[in-house]
């Protein structure tokens, strides 16, 4: 659509002047540039700036063109929310970032539900009333059918996002088991609930006046299905869940944008929804999962495997030391470092970068291998390495580096298990079966940093590589062990 067509459509739909439509268009362009910038660590800072600029334009334009509340009230609300956000941003640890993202997604979903509720309770303030003549000839004002569809969809998607994000938060935060929680006939229940929501939405749109019980029933069922969709999903698949919930929050915002007649909200929500869906699709391909199964819920879960009941392999293993690792890596031609959530927990990214710098000073080629689902959210490891100022050209995705392990002297795995576990290729009963993993077992020497041999990773699957002849286990806190390795490299 050309700019002139966009302005014409926007002006005709909302009654605002072309300058307002142009401001929203500029905000939309900024959001697109933000997404483009966030696609690469090298341009992520610029992407964030574009997003902030676009949001500022959209918010200011909305405030000065809509008589929604007094500016002092809005200023107080912004100050309260901004203060809370600032405090959280300053205090939150990087290890808690995934659950923070899930919590924020839940707030977006809840906001959509509240907006839909407000529109239903006071439709005149939202400009969604139309004239209706009942069978007795009495003329009344009712909510337009189109607005009822928008309202119901926005409320339903928002409710799903809210309850699903709450479950994701509880799993990521450790308040709920990361293992899949299976319900009998869960797919039948999910399908039946979804069909009921669709039928009620259709009835809600066609019935004049729209009965309150239908709106409440849609909300209740949506809250329930959000809960049911997420609890069957195991810990190994949580990064895709976070991405999908992000997409849901975007579509909820877009639906509410139609109810509010706000073009910027529609654009922003659609961008977030589409980009989240695309990212989820990419991650599903990287994990060999079905995208349709993601939406259905429980896509990574089986009734066996995973969780606390994982069976450990009873075989001998070799214990190494920081001195062993420092010596072998200093003699190597190439070292590939594979970080995981254990690195995030220990906040070891900075000392890990120092280790890489020390090895490079000794003439060793150092590369970092990042799995699409390493950590607890998309890009978790990339964020940590960028925070530690690891050069972008040393960071490689799975498909770009996996073929190099056979020619690599040392594979250094720090706090990762599932993304290097060959059970994903060999064990059909494993909850991670089908997920592409790093072939660290092909390296000449493998070092694993983990706290103890008792842990089996977030997916609850033991790792055959632990017991290979070329593997040495470095049992310690990740940061402490890397600090000891750095000391040995310097000495």
**Residues 6+ away with beta carbon under 8 Å from 486:** 326, 351, 354, 355, 358
Computed from CA positions of residues 484, 391, 359, 317, in that sequence, does the dihedral angle turn out positive or negative?
A: positive
Q: What phi and psi values does residue 64 have, to the nearest 5 degrees? A: -85, -10
Picking from 8, 21, 15, the residue whose alpha carbon sits closest to that of residue 61 is: 21
pLDDT tens-digit profile of 299-339?
444 443 344 444 455 678 899 999 999 999 999 999 999 99
Residue 351 CA: distances (Å) to CA of 247, 253, 414, 447: 35, 41, 12, 16
The upper half-sphere exposure of residue 76, i.e. CA atoms within 13 Å in the direction of its Cβ, equals 4
Model pLDDT, residue 363: 94
**Cis peptide leading into residue 317 (ω within 30°):** no
What confidence score (pLDDT) does residue 178 get?
A: 65
Q: What is the mean pLDDT of the chain?
A: 82
**Residue 342 and residue 451 in contact, taking contact as beta carbons nearer than 8 Å:** yes
DSSP state at residue 310: P
Q: Where are the domains of the chain?
A: 1-91, 97-301, 311-490
Within the chain, which residues score under 50 in pLDDT? 1-15, 299-311
CATH class of 311-490: alpha beta
Closest CA to 372 of 383, 384, 360, 380: 380
User: In Å, what is the CA distance from 94 to each residue of 244, 344, 347, 380, 381?
Assistant: 21, 7, 8, 9, 10
Q: What is the pLDDT of residue 486?
A: 95
217 sits in the region (left: phi over 0; alpha: psi -120 to 50; else beta) called alpha
List the one residue out of 419, 416, 459 whose CA is nearest residue 437.
Answer: 419
Q: What is the DSSP string of 104-155?
A: HHHHHHHHHHHHHHHHHH-HHHHT-EEEEE-TTS-EEEEE-HHHHHHHHHHH
CA distance 298 to 275: 22
Q: What is the pLDDT of residue 311?
A: 47
CA–CA distance, 345 with 120 (Å, rounded to integer): 45
Res 479: pLDDT: 93
Q: Which of 110, 122, 119 is nearest to 148 (CA)?
A: 119
For residue range 373-422, list pLDDT tens digits in order: 787 777 788 888 988 889 988 999 888 999 999 999 999 999 888 889 88
Beta pairing partners, 445: 410
Find, among 235, 215, 196, 228, the residue nearest to 295 by Cα: 228
Task: Write down the catalytic residue from 134, 208, 409, 418.
Answer: 418
Active site residue 418: yes
Tokens of 252: 């909820």
């Amino acid at each position: 659509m050309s700019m002139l067509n966009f302005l014409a459509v926007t002006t005709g739909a909302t009654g605002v002047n072309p300058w307002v439509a142009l401001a929203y268009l500029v905000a939309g362009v900024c959001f697109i540039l933000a997404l483009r910038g966030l696609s690469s660590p090298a341009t992520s800072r610029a992407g964030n700036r574009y997003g902030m600029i676009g949001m500022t334009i959209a918010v200011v334009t909305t405030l000065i063109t809509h008589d929604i509340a007094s500016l002092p009230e809005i200023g107080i609300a912004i100050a309260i929310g901004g203060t809370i956000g600032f405090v959280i941003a300053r205090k939150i640890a990087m290890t808690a970032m995934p659950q923070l993202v899930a919590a924020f997604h839940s707030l977006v979903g809840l906001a959509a539900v509240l907006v839909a509720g407000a529109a239903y309770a006071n439709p005149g303030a939202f400009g969604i009333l139309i004239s209706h003549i009942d069978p007795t000839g009495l003329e009344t004002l009712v909510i337009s059918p189109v607005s009822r569809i928008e309202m119901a969809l926005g409320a339903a998607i928002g409710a799903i996002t809210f309850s699903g994000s709450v479950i994701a938060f509880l799993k990521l935060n450790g308040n709920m088991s990361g293992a899949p929680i299976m319900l009998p006939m869960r797919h039948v229940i999910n399908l039946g609930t979804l069909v009921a929501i669709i039928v009620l939405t259709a009835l809600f749109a066609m019935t004049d006046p729209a009965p309150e019980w239908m709106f409440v029933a849609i909300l209740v069922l949506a809250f329930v299905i959000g809960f049911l969709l997420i609890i069957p999903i195991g810990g190994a698949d949580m990064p895709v869940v976070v991405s999908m919930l992000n997409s849901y929050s975007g579509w909820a915002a877009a639906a509410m944008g139609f109810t509010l007649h706000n073009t910027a909200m529609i654009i922003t929500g659609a961008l977030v929804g589409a980009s989240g869906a695309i990212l989820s699709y990419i991650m599903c391909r990287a994990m060999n999962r079905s995208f349709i199964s993601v939406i259905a819920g429980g896509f990574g879960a089986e009734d066996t495997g995973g969780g606390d009941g994982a069976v450990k392999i009873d075989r001998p293993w070799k214990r190494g030391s920081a001195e062993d690792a420092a010596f072998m890596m200093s003699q190597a031609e190439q070292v590939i470092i594979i970080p995981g959530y254990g690195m995030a927990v220990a906040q070891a990214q900075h000392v890990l970068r120092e280790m890489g710098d020390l090895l490079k000073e000794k003439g060793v080629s150092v590369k970092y291998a990042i799995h699409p689902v390493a950590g607890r959210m998309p890009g978790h490891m990339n964020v940590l390495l960028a925070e530690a100022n690891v050069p972008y050209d040393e960071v490689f995705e799975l498909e770009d580096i996996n073929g190099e392990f056979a020619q690599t002297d040392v594979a250094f795995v720090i706090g990762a298990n599932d993304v290097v576990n060959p059970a994903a290729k060999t064990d059909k009963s494993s909850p991670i079966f089908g997920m592409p993993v790093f072939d660290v077992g092909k390296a000449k020497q493998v070092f694993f940093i983990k706290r103890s041999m008792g842990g089996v990773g977030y997916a609850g699957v033991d790792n055959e590589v632990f017991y290979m002849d070329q593997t040495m286990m470095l049992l310690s806190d990740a940061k402490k062990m890397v600090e000891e390795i750095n000391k040995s490299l310097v000495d």
